[in-house]
Amino acid sequence: MPDLKKARIAVLVSGGGTNLQALLDAEKRGEIPHGEIVLVISSNPTAYALERAKAAGVPALAFSKKKLGGQEAFEKALLTALSEAKADLIILAGFLSILSGDFTARYEKRILNVHPSLIPSFSGEGFYGLRVHEAALARGVKVTGATVHFVNEIPDGGEILLQKAVAVEEGDTPEILQKRVMREAEWKLLPEAAEMVSKKIVSKEN
């Protein structure tokens, strides 16, 4: 029987890489049968996510927007690396750089992002990391969660693929809530979405 064709996945990161780890672990467990992680790119050369990639034997690169001289050069370096890796699907896993409309248009319905709220709540420009959970707690919501969506030129504005609700509990701090949302929603939704889209890509190409 021939080997199953797999979608080639590139994961873009900026920090600790917990979502990257969730993807690597899910792939190892056989939960992304139609996809394989072939490249990790960090916008921060000191990101711990690069160590996670190394430990998993996945090629990893780092590009600094500042050192490259701005957005255009940064995106050009990204596009070259993605093209060389023959990436079919891009997953933003805690990637803190906003991508231009020109970039996202080249990978229409091929870029996924996980956002730590139930979009449209607490989303859009300026809402990332702990800020999202601080806003949710300040508003007094009883339920929050995570959303995986396609990426377009509007921050958090692309089509929603998956959402999962997570309860806000008495005495939650932004840090406690962040960990619960990751554990109960982000780390489950991201591999699920990666498999969904990879399967579509592979079936189109066969």
Whole-angstrom distance, CA of residue 48 vs CA of residue 100: 25
> Domains plus CATH for the chain?
7-116+147-163+189-205 (3.40.50.170)
Residues 19/190, Cβ–Cβ less than 8 Å = yes
Collapse the DSSP code of 113 into the 3-class scheme (helix H, G, I; strand E, B; otherwise coil) and give the result. strand
What is the chain's alpha carbon radius of gyration, rounded to the nearest angstrom? 17
Looking at residue 206, what is its pLDDT?
A: 57
pLDDT tens digits for the chain (206 residues)? 345 789 999 999 999 999 999 999 999 999 999 999 999 999 999 999 999 999 999 999 999 988 898 999 999 999 999 999 999 999 999 898 889 999 999 999 999 999 999 999 999 888 888 999 999 999 999 999 999 999 998 888 999 999 999 999 999 999 999 999 999 999 999 999 999 999 999 998 65
Looking at residue 2, what is its pLDDT?
A: 47
Question: Which residues are annotated as catalytic?
Answer: 115
Looking at residue 9, what is its pLDDT?
A: 98
Amino acid found at 160:
I
pTM greater than 0.95 = no
The end-to-end CA distance of the chain, in Å, is: 15
User: Exposed, middle or buried: residue 46 (CB in 10 Å: 0-12, 13-18, 19+)?
Assistant: exposed
